[in-house]
Structure 1
Amino acid sequence: MRFVRAGVVMIFILSLVIFGVSRVVLFQNRDPNEPEIVSDREILEIPCEYTQEQLLEGLTASDQEDGDLTSQIVAGSFSRFIEPGLCNMTYVVFDSADQPASLTRQVRFTDYHSPRFTLTEPLVFSEGEGSYDELMGRLGAQDQLDGDLSDWITQTDTDVNYQRAGSYTTTLEMSNSLGDTVTQDLPIHVVAAEGHSLEIVLNTGIVYIDQGSGIDAAAYIQELLDSQGNNLDTSLISSESNVDPQTPGCYEVHYQAEDGQGNSGETWLTVIVEG
């Protein structure tokens, strides 16, 4: 029994010696120098349709033992926006001893704008035919970085009554993955079914323009149809706009048509002026 105990003790001591020697060797052979990443600019400016090469512009990496490591720099993910269009990105590189180096710098998207709502057709409904599902079916959203955000639209408020003709408002909200949240009031029109036998078809239900830009109302007219679906001369359509291009906000262009035989129709184009 004593020999067994002595053997166990000897094995334990031998193990400690081997472990200690391995640690000493590892310490002596360790790489004392960590790699370094350097940027030649504080803020990287790139377009929304950037490439991986553009993300790495202005960066170099080196290590005293391994030399140039620039080609091994890896870009991480974008942080949430500090302000719309400006965020942080962290880069990392490893040397041959698996020692890391990291660098965080700001990234600005030079052509960025907040997500925008889209409409397949104007938010104009006949009495008794509109509904929440009809509204959401016409709505969409696009973001320059995330693409389609249609599934992220929520209606936060509305005063619409689809059973009674009138002008109403719905409040919509959406956010992209970088934290840019857009809240927008959009007008809804419910019209009486009688007396609206002409259909004014627009090529979109909503347009965005920059502050100070003009708008050509006629450019959004696609066609004019009678109750049988026949094409009529679009010169029968007149328009009236309340758009103030100098002041950011939500506006409308009102289109009306009459054929001289008692038939008429109307629709609205929503115009968002962005500051």
Structure 2
Amino acid sequence: MKKLSILMIVLLVVSLAGAGWTQFRLWSSKDETLPVIECPETPLVLQVGENDPDTLLEGVSAWDDKDGDLTSQVMVEGIARSVENNETTITYAVVDSDCHVAKQTRTVQYSDYQPPRFGLSQELRYEVGQPVVVRDRVTATDVIDGDLSNQVKVTSTGLNANVEGRYPVTFEVTNSMGDTSVWTAEIRIANYQTGEPRILLSQYLVYLEQGEAFQSKNYLSQVIGGELEDVTVESGVDTSTPGTYQVTYSCIGNSGTAGTAVLFVVVV
């Protein structure tokens, strides 16, 4: 019986020693280093909505001391839903054979991005006492989200539809990237006079790039009750300086009554 007990103890010791050696070998062979992702220092230039994997992973490589080259296993974790100065951030991730995860970010520069822009299909002019409804003529579009017209916020302080005058109004809209555009204009409350000519424009709000040429007469479409050649233009548009400008078109109609129309120009 004593010999049996000794044998059992010896077997137990041998078993524990074997298990310990196995654990030691597993521990000593385990890779504790993280893989490394390398990206070019220059921004990745993309068009809005471009999601081709080869393009998104252009120039990206990955390496691990144990597994070697992991470039083919690099994944795009996501592109940040924010943009500033036409730039955002892309995040890459890779996993090695020991389930170690490494991540790296890179700047993305959109070549065709622009903030949301407003549109105006007719003048912001209303007769005295008429309901001031701007959503039938003010729109907003975005290169990422498309039509944002129903998300436009309108703010006007002191507007009185029963009193003739010009009242400041602010339009604001934000796209899904968190980029907000603001446009400040004027609402005009004024009755149309008998015989007043109607000056119609092809657009009532235009955007110009800084330094772009501006020809005010290019936006004249038609004069009802007057002649196109009789229209005069008052413009202070300076395309070298970003901002919002008003261009006023005036005309003496066939009955001798003057009429005007306003074009808003936004230089970006």
State the TM-score bracket (shorter-chain normalisation).
Answer: 0.7 to 0.9
CA separation of 1:70/1:263 partners in 2, compared to 1, >3 Å: closer, same or farther? farther
What 5-or-longer segments of structure 2 have no aligned partner?
1-15
Q: Deviations over 1:156-180 (max 9, x none)?
A: 3333322232222102222223332
1:152 is aligned to 2:143 = no
Unaligned runs of 5+ in 1: 1-16, 227-231
Structure-1 separation of matches of 2:243 and 2:224: 31
Q: Which residue of structure 1 aligns with residue 130 of structure 2?
A: 129
Matches within 5 A, 1:72-83: 72-81=74-83, 83=84
Post-superposition shift, 1:59?
1.2
How many aligned positions are there? 247
Instruction: Report which stretch shifted further, 174-183 or 199-208.
Output: 174-183
Matched, 1:255 2:256: no
Paired with 1:97 and 1:196, the residues of 2 have a C-alpha distance of: 84
Higher-Rg member (1/2): 2
1:237-248 aligned at under 5 Å gives the runs: 237-248=231-242
CA deviation map 1:51-89 (0-9, x unaligned): 4343322212345537444365224021434x4322222
CA contact (8 A) 2:138 2:149 kept: yes
Normalised by the length of structure 1, the TM-score is 0.74
Aligned mates of 2:100, 2:67 — CA distance in 1: 12
Aligned twin of 2:178: 179
2:141 equivalent in structure 1 = 142
Q: Distance in 1 between matches of 2:218 and 2:161?
A: 29
State whether residues 227 and 253 of structure 2, in contact with CA within 8 Å, keep that contact through their aligned partners in structure 1.
no
**Alignment of structure 1 residues 49-198 onto 2, 5 Å:** 50-52=50-52, 53-63=54-64, 64-65=66-67, 67-70=69-72, 72-81=74-83, 83-95=84-96, 99-131=100-132, 134-195=133-194, 197-198=196-197
Residues 217-251 of structure 1, C-alpha deviations (whole Å, 9 max, x = no match): 1111222334xxxxx75324332212233332221
Q: C-alpha distance in 2, partners of 1:106/1:196?
A: 59
- The residue number in structure 2 matching 1:220 is 219
Tell me what 2:13 maps to: none
- Letter of the structure 2 residue corresponding to residue 178 of structure 1: M
RMSD of aligned Cα (Å):
3.2
Q: TM-score scaled to structure 2, two decimals?
A: 0.75
Q: Please report how far the alpha carbon of residue 103 of structure 1 lies from its aligned counterpart in structure 2 after TM superposition.
A: 1.1
